[in-house]
Amino acid sequence: MKNRLDVLSGYLIGFVSLFVIWHVASTWILSSVLFPPPLRVLSKAIELAQDGSLGENVIVSLSRILSGFFFGTLIGVPLGLIIGSFPLARRILEPYTEFFRFIPPTALITVAVIWFGIGEGSKIFLIIYTTLFTVILNTSAGVAAVAPNKIRAAQSLGANRLQLFCFIALPATIPYILTGMRLAMGNSFVTIIAAELVAANSGLGKMIWDSRMYMLVDDIFVALVVLGLLGFGTDKLFRWAINVFAKRFSTAI
């Protein structure tokens, strides 16, 4: 309980300090027209929430992120396990992984729009691409990092290859899988905003773009703050999963 209170108090101090610095900067250092103070942004956020536009854009962006993230993880985890478990698969598939992971998703926005149009397909494709290679790399690294003495101990007890995978390799890889998912989720926020800035009819990125067109600076800051809070919340969720579930699996093997 004391540790939790320390963590919460640290977050509270951090957020309060951020808003104090923000208020001072917007009031005394920069123009409040171009850098609105936090209370004005909060008032605008309440207004946008009441008319439903903020919630609609948040739901649209999150649904795109979660859909692409789900399918990217669903494909990436098995591929990572295969690459990490079988040397032949690693030699065949690793060059493709190393090649494509250096092509940023933002560079594929135009290609995605050409292939899938400006609808949901292009956004989900980009999130799948963002998620896929991060998850593959972390998962394969987790399999490769399994302690050899654990494998030898299980083999000496008569474990076959399937049992080695299910009871040794997979539990030991879970922290790496969750870490890869955590990194991929962070990258997905960057990708979806870039995609919605370029080609979208709704979403937080579209909200930022439309606000820029009409110089609605308050709306832009509302979207930025919401993005930060959403990212903070999802990252905390993944950190909780790593601390709770991954450690439990690791101590069980």
Q: What is the CA radius of gyration of the chain?
A: 22
Residue 146 has pLDDT above 80, yes or no: no
Q: Look at the domain 36-252 and name its fold.
A: MetI-like fold (1.10.3720)
132: burial class by Cβ within 10 Å (0-12, 13-18, 19+)? buried
Torsion (CA) 204, 205, 208, 213 in degrees, nearest 10: -130
| Structure tokens, 234 | 């999802």
Cα–Cα–Cα angle for 200, 202, 203, nearest 5°?
100
Asked whether the beta carbons of 187 and 134 are under 8 A apart, the reply is yes
The confidence score (pLDDT) of residue 14 equals 77
**E strand spans, the chain:** none
pTM of the model: 0.84
For the stretch 24-55, pLDDT in tens is 888 787 776 778 888 888 999 999 999 888 99
